[in-house]
Amino acid sequence: MTDVKQLRLGILGSGKGSNMVAIADAVAAGTVPAVIAVVLSDVAEAGILERARERGIRAEFIAPGKFRTKLDEAAEMAYIAALQAAQVEVVVLAGFMRILKGEFLRAFANRVINIHPSLLPSFPGLEAWRQALDYGVKVTGCTVHFVDQGIDTGPIIVQQTVPVLDDDTPVSLHERIQQAERVAYPAAIAALARGAVTVRGRRTTLGQGR
């Protein structure tokens, strides 16, 4: 354990931060050889900032600028600068509700990962649990994937399935998916931190690593 390098993570989120908490707990428990260098949010009052600060993790609000679904140019540069200043190696999107493209993905090429609340490529985009319920699928789940220029299209690292029950509501289904997320995201980050993830085109393999 002592010779395993600690991967420096920067976590971006807009919401309550349950994924960030699961990752922080796994880091604290020693099951993920990483350190959360900084948590950033585009929402000043987001729970994720509060949850991070409670744990002694540096957490900053950075205003997203004038657009609704992406960062404007100045904001993008501010996010890149904050992550670079914290010497972040892998950017972890945990409910960050803005699309990252161009300059950001060039600054962290192949080093941005995301969790999505469905089994991609089904139900990309917003409220994937509601899309799954409306479509009538019997199984859904969550996907951890690398971020590329598309929306929820990058190579898949880990997926975990979740049943859809007859009496599910959007809230109950999202909660069950989030329970799966709290297992899948730390597992994917642990594999990355151990150097166990190999990417060949669209396909990834999770080997033994270090």
Binding residues for ligand GAR, per CB under 6 A?
13, 15-19, 48, 94-95, 115-117, 178, 181
- 116 vs 194, beta carbon nearer ligand GAR: 116
Q: CB of 161: closest distance to ligand GAR in angstroms?
A: 15
Q: Which residues are known catalytic residues?
A: 116
* Cβ(175)–Cβ(117) below 8 Å: no
Secondary structure letter of residue 70 according to DSSP = B
Q: How far apart are CA 83 and CA 74, in angstroms?
A: 14
Q: CB of 118: closest distance to ligand GAR in angstroms?
A: 9
- 85 vs 139, beta carbon nearer ligand GAR: 139
Residue reference for tokens 């951890």: 144
Q: CB of 195: closest distance to ligand GAR in angstroms?
A: 25
Q: How far apart are CA 161 and CA 146, in angstroms?
A: 19
| Cα dist from 77 to 88, 151, 159, whole Å | 15, 21, 32
* Residue whose beta carbon is closest to ligand GAR: 95
Task: Please tell me the total number of residues recorded for the chain in this structure.
Answer: 210
- 37 vs 113, beta carbon nearer ligand GAR: 113
